[in-house]
Chain A
Amino acid sequence: MMRFVLRRLAYALLTIWGVSFVAFIIIQLPPGDFLTTSIERMGDDGAVGEAQIAVLREQYGLDQPIWVQYFKWISGIVLHGDFGQSFVYHRPVAELIGQRLPLTIALSIATIVFTWAMAVPIGIYSAVRQYSLGDYAVTILGFLGLAIPSFLVALVLLYVSYNFFGQDVGGLFSERYIDAPWSFGKVVDLLKHMWIPVAITGLAGTASLIRVMRANLLDELRKPYVAAARARGNSETRLIVKYPVRVAIAPLLSTLGAVLPAVVSSGEVVAIVLSLQTTGPLLLSSLQTQDMYLAGSLIFAVSVLTVVGTLISDLMLGWADPRIRHRYS
């Protein structure tokens, strides 16, 4: 198991390293170096001293080859948590992300937990009661959930609640908590607001996970080891949970990592519609204004999140399926 964990960790670090290159390239993409842009903007506000420009040039190593620039950028992040400056907000990127990234993480985790908590029991039910009325109902609802885009659900929900209940479901906090420091009340308020984007974002994922769970479990239910366990005198419930469900869930665990970027990006769409204070709307506006340090850093942060998610799901898969774990020992 140890070797398996170490190996997975090494892969994850390598991937993050690769991702950092991509993020750096994205930052470098707009024509001219970013200082030109920055100086242009500062120029709007007033004169910029030659000396100040020289200091900035030195700080970012702009006169040096590209790999030195990359090195300065990445070591700033790793050693000092310095992601550079946002030109639009005139604040450190780290500060901007620091407010929103935890909310994105919380929302994504809550969405995945919601998805699994709904999909696994429903999938089990509709496999065990295959072709029952309940199974058909689940199937139909599932297809609807898959077919309707989440932003549409968000819009409809916004419209309905605003017009018929006079209530604004947008945002993640009530008015009075938005700028308040963290407190128990603020957490409760967040949870109250969070279920709506969570349910909307998780809808499609839940529907498809139910299909996969049902199909996997149907395959497993017919395997002789299930009959063998039944022949030993297990009760039906105990038997199904202990054997075929365990086997059917294992491959789902490995999709967790792949689900994460989908959750984050569809969460972004929902977040924009519902104007949530997550990273999604920030990323969109930073791309529109070519606020490249902010955009690159956001992409980097969300990618790292995905890699970490994949790592966790790989480890869980190794824990759930000894065949995977033992392949490496």
Chain B
Amino acid sequence: MSDVILQVQDLQTHYLLRDGVTRAVDGVSFDVRRGRTLCVVGESGCGKSATAHSILQLVDEPGKIVGGRILLHRTHGEQAGQVVDLAALPARGKQMREIRGREIAMVFQEPMTSLSPVHTVGDQVMEAIRLHLPLPEKQIHERAVDLLDRVRIPNPRRHMDSYTFQLSGGMRQRVSLAAALSCEPALLIADEPTTALDVTTQAQILDLFAELQQELDMAVMFITHDLGVVASIADEVVVMYLGQVAEQTDVDSLFHRPAHPYTRALLSSVPKPGTRTRLAPIRGGVPSPYDRPSGCAFHPRCDAMMPGVCDRGPVPLVDLDAGRAARCMLYTEEVARDGEPVR
């Protein structure tokens, strides 16, 4: 497993609010591997961003990582080859700053607001290089021009001096991508980078992601709520529900033999090309994080709900075949023995 870049183990990130605690991330585990894309999917509010922000220690007040480990296999700097637990590092410390932008870079959702309105494109693309690589100014500039060229910004030299308000949403997201890739990070985290874009631009940006990942042999953690996006770029998939991993699978199994009823519900709520079946939106809404249902958090919306089983006690993440896993009572030994296995 030398290809593993990042291991998230039982991560817990809570928002400590006045009226109670929101368990935004509640025991999430997954690995991200070099040259592979892990997609994290789930409805909005299920803790995808909180997970991503935890990895870089960017969780805003009143949020806090309260448990678990985030193991980074370092590839750069003095500690190359060692494993550090990011969850244990101080958020403002030197070590964390060395990792941010250098070994793990991030692209955010909103292309309109994730770049500074008063700094030039060049300034923001060159910043990470200046911070992390000891290069002469001229080379930094050339490298930034080259990066803009690689993310297909036309006339990159001229756009170095542009401001972001002069660019379209797609262009801005390319600039963000160029800035993120400027130090050739081992891991790129992208938090819904295409959600705010129109479909055509979205497709172009996804192609760009795939292409640059190949070139740089990066690990990518791609957050989305769009299963179409998952189909086009994922290798592995983590399906999240209310801060927990509902299902963990490879991308083919996700679409061809989804295990968790939530995954199935998600799949039948999006149109499939060539079929004319009616779309079935998932029943009910995501429960408020303040009153989590007891037992399986999904049971009030679940078609396969077993009264007396699913609504009490915590549900374990059950290992299935080939590295797949699902957090569902259907696959626990007792139920599988007594009832019909629904694999």
Identify the A interface with B (CB < 8 A). 222-225, 227-236, 242-243, 246-247, 250, 320-323, 326
Nearest chain A CB to B217 CB, angstrom units:
21
CA A233 to CA B131, docked complex, whole Å:
7
Chain B residues near A247 (CB, 8 Å)? 116-118
Identify the B interface with A (CB < 8 A). 53, 56, 58, 60, 92, 97-102, 105-106, 108-110, 113-119, 127-128, 131-132, 163, 165-166, 176, 179
**Number of contacts between A and B (CB, 8 Å)?**
80
A232 in contact with B128 (CB, 8 Å): yes
B179, closest chain A residue (CB): A232
Chain A residues near B109 (CB, 8 Å)? 224
B105 in contact with A229 (CB, 8 Å): no
* 28 A-B residue pairs with CB within 8 Å: A222-B60, A225-B115, A225-B116, A228-B106, A228-B176, A229-B116, A230-B100, A231-B58, A231-B100, A231-B106, A232-B101, A232-B179, A233-B97, A233-B98, A233-B99, A234-B97, A236-B92, A243-B116, A246-B116, A246-B118, A247-B117, A320-B118, A322-B118, A322-B163, A322-B165, A323-B117, A326-B163, A326-B166
CA A322 to CA B101, docked complex, whole Å:
26
B163 in contact with A224 (CB, 8 Å): no
Q: Which single member of B92, B97, B101, B108 contacts A227 (CB below 8 Å)?
A: B108
Nearest chain A CB to B62 CB, angstrom units:
11
B116 in contact with A231 (CB, 8 Å): no
A231 in contact with B56 (CB, 8 Å): yes
Given the interface pairs A233-B132, A234-B97, A323-B165, the reply to whether A227 lies near B58 with Cβ below 8 Å is yes
Nearest chain B CB to A266 CB, angstrom units:
32
Nearest chain B CB to A227 CB, angstrom units:
6
Chain B residues near A235 (CB, 8 Å)? 92, 97
Chain B residues near A323 (CB, 8 Å)? 117-118, 163, 165
Nearest chain A CB to B57 CB, angstrom units:
9
B57, closest chain A residue (CB): A230
Chain B residues near A236 (CB, 8 Å)? 92
CA A231 to CA B176, docked complex, whole Å:
12
B165 in contact with A224 (CB, 8 Å): no
Give the most central of B53, B98, B127, B166: most A CB within 10 Å: B127
Other A-B contacts than A227-B53, A233-B102, 19 sampled, CB-CB below 8 A, are A224-B109, A224-B110, A224-B113, A224-B114, A225-B117, A230-B100, A231-B58, A231-B100, A231-B108, A232-B131, A234-B127, A236-B92, A242-B119, A246-B118, A246-B119, A247-B117, A322-B163, A326-B165, A326-B166
Chain A residues near B102 (CB, 8 Å)? 233
A322, closest chain B residue (CB): B163
Nearest chain A CB to B134 CB, angstrom units:
14
Chain B residues near A227 (CB, 8 Å)? 53, 58, 60, 108, 114
